[in-house]
A = this chain, B = another copy of it.
Amino acid sequence: MSYLGKNYHPPGTAPGTLDDSRRGEIEIRLVDYDERDYREETLASAEECMPYLDRPSRTWVQVNGRPDVATVRGLGQLFELHELALEDVLNTGQRPKIDVYGEQVFVVLAMPVHTPEGVMNEQVSIFAGPDYLICFSTTPDDPFEPLRKRMRPPSSSRLRSRRIDYLLYAIVDLVVDAAFPVLEQFGNEIEELEEELLDAPGRDAIARLHHIRRELLLLRRMLWPQRELVSRLQRDEIELIEEQTQPFLRDCYDHSVQIIDLLESFREMSASLLEVYLSSIGNRTNEVMRVLTIIATIFIPLTFIVGVYGMNFDPADSPWAMPELRWYYGYPLVWLVMIAVTVGLVWFFHRKHWL
């Protein structure tokens, strides 16, 4: 994810300006359904929706990919969508939110998706009216296939028999739940990192940890307002939403609260891991120091001693000049002294619990 994570117009641009500099391949799928009939089509352009508008059945238009201005404007005119909302559809990276324009509800959602480059926040923008729902998703392939799968069988699925607000719920629920596998992945990464950090942290541990923290931070920027959004959906007197859909939205709200709980505890966990890491660095410095100190402290005095007997004072010149050099047991005596020094130091280190 980029740090800004958002497209914006230069300050001073007129509100509602549409701009398709980032357009790409799109796919428009139309599902027209009611309790008895179900029809699924892939459209070539927005205008082909027209014949379905006057029917009493419910119409779900799904646009995948980054649409061009023409498509968005075409749908906008067909369904009378507000220009500010259309601007938000094209300027992806919006904060999740819900706006009510008359009897129409406009919902922006963020759908986290695991990709090899990290977590991407895809934007899902939904317009829901009395008997239609238009959904734009920036993902190249359609994430809502599971819903159509549930809709296709002629048996009375709830998705088929209920009004458009239930479809809205189903889409919101799917997008909200998409955070669970992403968080599971983070949970696993944190757990792996934890084991490594407590055992023997590698060179890239800090980079990996920082990467996780950063991704969690960017994820959080999206998921908190999403929770607010679901809370409003579940609580508000939005006309479109019928009373019997409320318990389902409440369930969806529970999920989004759990997601926030998980996110926040992962963030705390990773903060705690950083402290584990810092203390493990401190500990290793300590250990390295200890080895150095032990070796140096033992050998430095010994080297001094042997240095003494390397001085060129000659016992022949003066009885004061290292007579030990001439003693019969001089040399072994020096060794005895050196062994005594070593033993003394080892005992000292032992008492200090350094060995």
Contacts and interface: CB of A to CB of B under 8 A. Distances in A.
Contacts of A265: 3, 217-218, 220-221
Interface string A250-285: 110011011001100110110011111111111111
A46 interface: no
Contact of A286 (B207, B281, B311): B281
Interface stretch (A51-59, A65-73, A122-130, A312-320): A312-320
B187 A198 contact: no
A337 to B, nearest CB: 12
Nearest to A11: B177
Contacts of A293: 288-289, 291-292
Contacts of A97: 254
A347 interface: no
Contact of A282 (B248, B278, B309): B278
Interface in A123-176: 144-147, 150, 157-159, 173-175
A300 B299 contact: yes
Interface stretch (A12-20, A37-45, A235-243): A12-20
A312 B324 CA distance: 10
Interface string A285-329: 111111111011101111110111111111001101110011111
Interface residues of A, number: 125
Contacts of A325: 312-314, 317
A23 interface: no
Nearest to A184: B4
A232 interface: no
A198 B207 contact: yes
Contacts of A295: 296-297, 300-301
A2 interface: yes
Interface string A328-350: 11111010000000000000000
A95 interface: yes
A283 B281 contact: yes
B272 A210 contact: yes
Interface of A: 2-4, 6, 8-15, 82, 84, 94-95, 97, 99, 101, 144-147, 150, 157-159, 173-175, 177-178, 180-181, 183-184, 187-188, 190-191, 194, 198, 200, 203, 206-207, 210, 213-214, 217-218, 220-221, 225, 247-248, 250-251, 254-255, 257-258, 261-262, 265-266, 268-269, 272-293, 295-297, 299-304, 306-314, 317-318, 320-322, 325-332, 334, 352-354
